Amino acid sequence: MTSYMELDELKNLWQADDKNLDSRIRLNNTQLMKMNMENATGEFSKIINISLLGRNMALVYCFISIGMAIFMIGTIEYSVPAIFGGMAMLWSFISHLSIEKPDYNNSIVQLQKTICKFRIHLAANAKYDIFIVALWVLSIVPIFIKIVYNVSLYNSNKALAIFCLVGCVALSLMIALSRKAYAEYDRTLKKSEAHLAELIEFETKSLHD
């Protein structure tokens, strides 16, 4: 009789331990899922915020260009490039209107689709963004030099040569750094997609278990 009671007690202890172990495993899995989700959404949020800031600043730069063009309306060598630079910035603003902050309450699958869509959009527009910024800088700097230093680049071969040299170096650096930044964004977004893919796989397994 005593042996049966001892066996029952041992069985109850094993069952209790098994339940505790299962609870700990589920808790650990939940914590891992939460960490993966935070990793995926955290990096994505940073890039989204930078992109939204860049998009909104494009509209500000457009207004600056138009203002500069009006100020220099009497000299077409300054006003016309400024207008082109402003229109380019306006186009950039419009082309990025599709960028929105995601709803993190949506399903993981939907969030993964959102990141993928944003990554494709970013990659497709990268070269245009770099070109537009370069065009805007080249259209605004001569006006800035004219207003601040009263130096007309187009009336001085020496000043124009120096501007072209410095401009080429600066633009080369800007293009190189921009490409590096966009490549890093692409890697980060792919990592976020991978984290979400792991979560989807885990959820699918959990449903089958």
pLDDT, one tens digit per residue, over 91-106 is: 999 999 988 888 777 7
Could you tell me if residue 10 is inside a domain? no
Could you tell me if residue 40 is inside a domain? no
Give the pLDDT of residue 81.
93
Q: For residue 62, what are the domain limits?
A: 47-208
Say whether pLDDT at 129 is over 50: yes
Digit-coded pLDDT (tens) for 168-192 = 898 899 889 888 988 888 888 888 7
Could you tell me if residue 39 is inside a domain? no
Return the DSSP state at 73: T
- CB neighbour list of residue 125: distance below 8 Å, 6 or more residues apart: 95, 96
Q: What is d(CA 96, CA 59) in angstroms, rounded to the nearest whole number?
A: 11
Mapping DSSP onto H, E and C, the string for 11-63 reads HHHHHHHHHHHHHHHHHHHHHHHHHHHHHHHHHHHHHHHHHHHHHHHHHHHHH
Q: Which residue has the higher pLDDT, 16 or 50?
A: 50
Amino acid, res. 51: S
Could you tell me if residue 18 is inside a domain? no
Q: Which residue has the higher pLDDT, 209 or 196?
A: 196
Buried b (16+ CB within 10 A) or exposed e, 81-93: bbbbbbebbbebb
Could you tell me if residue 118 is inside a domain? yes
Domains held by the chain: number: 1
Could you tell me if residue 30 is inside a domain? no
Name the pLDDT band for 21 (thresholds 50, 70, 90): very low
Could you tell me if residue 11 is inside a domain? no
CA 90, distance to chain mean position in Å, is 19
Could you tell me if residue 52 is inside a domain? yes
- Return mean pLDDT, the chain: 80
Q: What is d(CA 134, CA 61) in angstroms, rounded to the nearest whole number?
A: 12
Q: Which residue has the higher pLDDT, 153 or 15?
A: 153
Name the pLDDT band for 142 (thresholds 50, 70, 90): very high
Say whether pLDDT at 206 is over 70: no
